[in-house]
Structure 1
Amino acid sequence: MVLIAQAPAVTATEGGEIFAPLLPAVRRFLMKRAPADDVDDLLQDVALRMHTRGPQGDILNPEGYVFQVAQSVLADRARRDAVRQRSRHVTMEESDHPVEVRSPERVMLGREQWSRLVAAVGDLPERTRQAFVLHRFEEMNYAAIARHMGISVSAVEKHIMKAIRLLAATLER
């Protein structure tokens, strides 16, 4: 206790010069306690806290203080990760979600399929086409379609199912 009282104190204005040489040691400290991918972020948090520390009195043990700040940053990160359930996150790899290339062949096949679908909708029986268009394109619910067409909700369901069956069969060809 006597040694601490006799040690020269470091003021906040001198802090940058005192703490900068300690950052490599803090990096090693963090490397032992955190994933390697997080060390740079954690070290930056430590440096930021040291930099933004206002004049709150003298620091008698700068080495101990900077490691206490590092431990505090680790604890804060652990609490934040627990709240956000970081351990349950999965990285998004391109192999998991491949991007499809728009080749001229694929564009042509898509246009042909679209043309077949439009023609198939036109070939549907009148009432079936009307129910399907009102539901899929006008976004009406079955009850509203039934009122509009003067039929039962059950009949609307049958017309829509018939349309979906006929259109799916057209697209499979």
Structure 2
Amino acid sequence: MDRSSSSQPKAAPPASGLTHDLIAFTPALRTYFARKTRNMNIVDDLVQDVMVRVLARRTQDEIENPQAYLFRTAANVLRDKARRDMVRKVEQQKSLTEFDHPVEECSPDRVIFAREEIARLIAVLQELPERTRDIFLMKRFDGLSHAEISARVGLSVSGIEKQIAKAVSHLARRMAK
């Protein structure tokens, strides 16, 4: 026995006529899945699942009726998909489309309005006492906790809370006008 031939990997067995038969049924499978699911977005994925299952089957016995076997596998793929969808509660999930969540345009009018609102907010902030304004900005823009602000400005946590409340009240009152 020649050692060089035994170290060679064995070639895969030649493809049977099943692969050719499967390809011939692809349009019929697409129609079947389109009719059953009414969702053209998943038809190709389901067809692929059928093909993978059939080609990965463990037995190499000849299939007597490839069409029946293929459509029985397709029915099983649909049943498995329905089970997965039920577990994932797919029917309760809502798709995020632009119709449901329209994107607001950044029109020139909106830009001008936003700039005016920012200028107004800055003016209202300038009306606050400097210490109150600084504490408010440390909280809202720097994201510091009351304790951190307290340590920086030398005021109790309760004093910090009162200053922030004073700033929020002033802003709410003046911006509502």
What secondary structure, in the 3-state scheme, does the structure 2 residue paired with 1:101 have?
coil
Could you say which residue in structure 1 is the equivalent of 2:62?
A: 59
Q: Within the alignment, does 1:165 sit opposite 2:169 as a pair?
A: yes
Alignment-mate amino acid for residue 83 of structure 2: R
Could you say which residue in structure 1 is the equivalent of 2:37?
A: 35
Q: Distance in 1 between the 2:96 and 2:15 partners?
A: 43
Q: Within the alignment, does 1:134 sit opposite 2:133 as a pair?
A: no
Contact 1:12–1:54 (Cα < 8 Å) also in 2? no
Question: Paired residue for 1:44, among 44, 48, 56?
Answer: 48
Q: Distance in 2 between the 1:23 and 1:12 partners?
A: 18
Question: Paired residue for 1:112, among 113, 116, 129?
Answer: 116
**What is the aligned residue count?**
161
The alignment's TM-score, normalised by the length of structure 2, stands at 0.76
Q: Within the alignment, does 1:16 sit opposite 2:33 as a pair?
A: no
Contact 1:142–1:157 (Cα < 8 Å) also in 2? yes
Q: Distance in 2 between the 1:137 and 1:24 partners?
A: 60
Question: What is the root-mean-square deviation in Å for CA atoms of aligned residues?
Answer: 2.5
The alignment's TM-score, normalised by the length of structure 1, stands at 0.78
Could you say which residue in structure 1 is the equivalent of 2:105?
A: 101
Question: Paired residue for 1:155, among 145, 155, 159?
Answer: 159
Identity %: 39
Could you say which residue in structure 1 is the equivalent of 2:80?
A: 76
Q: Which 5+ residue runs of structure 2 have no aligned equivalent? A: 1-13
Once structures 1 and 2 are overlaid, which stretch shifts more, 89-98 or 157-166? 89-98
Deviations 1:96-152 (A, max 9, x none): 212111111111111111111122222211221121011112211112222322222
Contact 1:13–1:55 (Cα < 8 Å) also in 2? no
Q: Distance in 1 between the 2:70 and 2:62 partners?
A: 10
Question: Which structure's residues are more often helix, by fraction?
Answer: 1
Q: Distance in 2 between the 1:26 and 1:130 partners?
A: 68
Q: Which 5+ residue runs of structure 1 have no aligned equivalent? A: 1-10
